[in-house]
Structure formats: C-alpha cells, structure tokens
Amino acid sequence: MSNLYSQFKIDTSTENFCLTLEKELLETWGSIDKIMHINGAKVLHAMQKNKLSDTHFAATTGYGYNDLGREVVEQIYADVFKTEAGLVRPQLISGTHALTVALFGNLRPGDELLSPVGKPYDTLEGVIGIRPTNGSLKEYGITYKQVDLNPDFSFNYDGIREAITDKTKLITIQRSKGYSYRPTLTIAQIKELITFIKAIKSDVICMVDNCYGEFVDVMEPTEVGADLCVGSLIKNPGGGLAPIGGYIVGKEEYVENAAMRLTAPGLGKEVGATLGLTQPVLQGLFLAPEVVANALKGAVFAAAIFEKLGFEVMPRAYELRSDIIQAINMKSPENVIAFCEGIQKGAPVDSFVNPEPWDMPGYDSPVIMAAGAFIQGASIELSADAPIKPPYTVFFQGGLTFYHARLGIMKALQTMKDKGLVTL
C-alpha cells in the first residue's frame, strides 16, 4: 500500500496517521451502508413499478411532445419521494434555478415568502431581492421575511409565529447549512417545523431546499409534510452520471405551477425535449444511494482526521448526518487554500490545476473552489469550496467512490503538512 500512496506523494506518516484512525470508523460506516440498502431498494422498486424499459431512453428533440421517457422519469421521482407529481428536466440548470422556478411559479405579487431558518444560500439572495438584482422576486412585489435560528441552532418558534401573517404564501426551508456554520436540519426537525407552521396557517406552502440531503436518511422531506422538495441532479440524486438538471417534486398543483413557469402558461409539463439524457439521469438515480454513501464515508473520514488535529468540525465524526457536507473551521486563509489545493491534486480531472480564490458571481466575498470533476460544478463529485472570510470555513463534500474520497482527503492533509500548516 505504501507504494500506492507514494504515487500520490503521500508520505508514510500521513498514511499511518489516516489508516490508524480509519479503524475506529468501521461501525459508523456500517450504519451508512444500512441506509444505502434501504434507499437502493426504494429506487429499484420505483423503476420496476413504472415498468422502466430501454424504449424510454429514446431521445426527443424540438418541443418534446409525447416524450414517454420524460414522463416515466418524473413518475419514478414522484414515487421515490412519495409525492403526487414530479418535474425532472435538463432545462433546470442548477439547484438555484430549480428553486427559482418553484418560487416564481407559486408566488404572486403581494405574497410573502418566509424563511424560518435564517438567511438562505448566497445565490438565492439575488433571486429573493435581499441583494438588489434585476428580475428578483422583490421587483415583482413579493416581500420576504426571515426568522433566524436561536443561538443554540434551535427554531425560534415565537418569532416564526409572529412572522406568519395572511400574506405568508410560501415557507422556504433550507435543509443544508450552505455557507452558514450550523447543523443541517434532520428529517425529524423538518417534520416538527412543518407541523408547527401548518397548525398556524394550514394553506401555506412548505418548500424544502433538499440540495445535498437526498438519500442521506431513509426518508425525504416530502414524507414528513413538505408540499414541495427541490434539488439538483448534479448533486446527490444524479449519482455522478446526470450531466445537468434539477427536480421539483410535491403536490401536483404546486409542481404544475412550477412547470408553467419553466416553460409557458398553458404548456407546463407537456413540452421539453430530453435530448437523449433520460438514460444517464435514471442510471445516475439508480447509483445515487451508493454514491451518497461513499460521499458520507468520506465526510466522516475527513471529520475524524481534522478533529483529531484540533480543528472544529461540523458535524463531528460520530454525529448524525443529514447531508453530505463536512464543514471544517480552518482558522486561516492559508489553511483553506492548502486544503483545497490538496483536494484538486487528488482529482481525476484537472489535477494539475491550482485553485485560487476569485470573485464568483452571486457571492459577497472571494470564493475558492476545488473540483476536478467529470461534470462541471457537480458537488456529488469530490470537491471543496470556501468563502475567504472569517471563520475561514471550508465546505467539503462528494466522492463518487470511497477510494477517491479517501485518497483526496489524505492528499489534502499531505498538502497542508508539506506547507508546515499541520503537524501529525
């Protein structure tokens, strides 16, 4: 094995440090495998139930009328998420785009949007109008409120009750931490929050931003009361094979409203060519439970290593996980940059490239991103990114295979060690 690691310029002390620690994680990894088997069976059953056939992989072009494959994909997604309907399209280019379509499809001038879990992910600030942007919800007369979490990251129920009014039309719940240093919401917490909200205003639409959370648990937010659930196919559910796309699943009325926004009023879900992408989208979904498990094992491995070295991590190695993201407070920009350099050096694509912080659109500070991925921006593949601002938190995620996640993490540690930033 030492010869293997030496090919990646990982020295013996780094190898021994990591492999010794790894022995303590076997039970935690076993728990992840149990969830993988349950979710894998769920996906397989949905495909069998809908009589998936290779005829459904045929490409359509132009308007995409009568696309049988598209209809089967959307019904499979609806069954996996236990919902009435699904909108799964390559025309949804990202998670942010899918969320935008769901919001604009279901909100009207005079309505109010409420986030009961604090500020949403940076790229949604422009969509909402928190950051002045052409075409935002704010420009269409849709107002926004947020209720921050309590200092202990619990829900501020009094604040939420006070914030909900007759104008409150849609509640957006971001499951993952984004660039906030907080725990990811568990399925149990999401259920508790939605139950509380519905008791105050039963007709409010509860939408969950499910990015990074799919298949981490044995249930999805739509199984505990969410009216809509939204995510990206180049994250968890695409399994590393979907080259583009997003999904919106939930109650038929709300999904149809989103479809009218994606295409045109009167057209909705009836159009939209799949261009031959049905097969990789479904094959990726089929692999997704195991790919997510591999990413989770890598996240646990990273947490254990850096916690042992004295860094603050969230979640800790043995804590319950609700998404694939591992946050590590790196204490300095030099540590952040070295870690990301190491992840990039361990990539299958562009391993020779050195990532640097840059002013990325949609963010309020320079951001560094390490991602030598087969699909551009696919954060189910091994990647790390961080805003270059205190507390210098790096957000690590992904890993299509565990062997790659493992090597990438070891390479990140080695890079920091070579620069004299950590001592084993």
Burial class (CB in 10 A: 0-12, 13-18, 19+), 133: middle
Q: What is the DSSP string of 144-205?
A: EEE-PPPTTS---HHHHHHH--TTEEEEEEE-S-TTS-SPPPPHHHHHHHHHHHHHH-TT-E
Could you tell me the two tokens for 413? 């540690």
Q: What is the pLDDT of residue 400?
A: 98
The fold for domain 56-284 equals Aspartate Aminotransferase; domain 2 (3.40.640)
Give the separation between CA 393 and CA 178, rounded to whole angstroms. 11
Which residues, in sequence order, are bridge partners of residue 86?
249
Could you tell me the two tokens for 297? 């094992």
Q: What is the pLDDT of residue 177?
A: 87
CA 248 to chain CA centroid, Å, is: 14
Q: What is the pLDDT of residue 309?
A: 97
Q: What is the DSSP string of 323-339?
A: SS-EEEE-SSHHHHHHH
Q: What is the pLDDT of residue 2?
A: 65
Phi first, then psi: give them for residue 125, nearest 5 degrees.
-60, -40
Q: How far is CA 321 from CA 87, 207, 223, 304, in A?
A: 27, 21, 18, 14
Supply the pTM of this predicted model: 0.96
Q: How far is CA 316 from CA 29, 59, 184, 346, in A?
A: 14, 45, 12, 23
Q: Are 201 and 222 spatial neighbours (Cβ–Cβ below 8 Å)?
A: no
Tens of pLDDT, residues 94-116: 999 999 999 999 999 999 999 99
Residue 216 carries which side chain, given as an amino acid letter?
Answer: V
Where the chain has pLDDT below 50, the residues are none
SS (H, E, C) 17-70: HHHHHHHHHHHHHHHHHHHHHHHHHHHHHHHHHCCCCHHHHCCCCCCCCCCHHH
Tens of pLDDT, residues 372-386: 999 999 999 999 999
Give the separation between CA 240 and CA 288, rounded to whole angstroms. 8
Contacts 24+ apart (CB under 8 A), 197-202: 197/116, 197/160, 197/164, 197/171, 198/225, 200/160, 200/161, 200/164, 201/164, 201/168
Q: Are 384 and 330 spatial neighbours (Cβ–Cβ below 8 Å)?
A: no
Give the separation between CA 306 and CA 102, rounded to whole angstroms. 38
Give the separation between CA 174 and CA 184, rounded to whole angstroms. 9
Q: What is the pLDDT of residue 370?
A: 95
Q: Where in the chain is the domain with CATH 3.90.1150.60?
A: 2-40+286-418
Domain 2-40+286-418, architecture per CATH: Alpha-Beta Complex (3.90)
Among 232, 237, 155, 231, residue whose Cα is nearest residue 191: 155
Q: Where in the chain is the domain with CATH 3.40.640.10?
A: 56-284
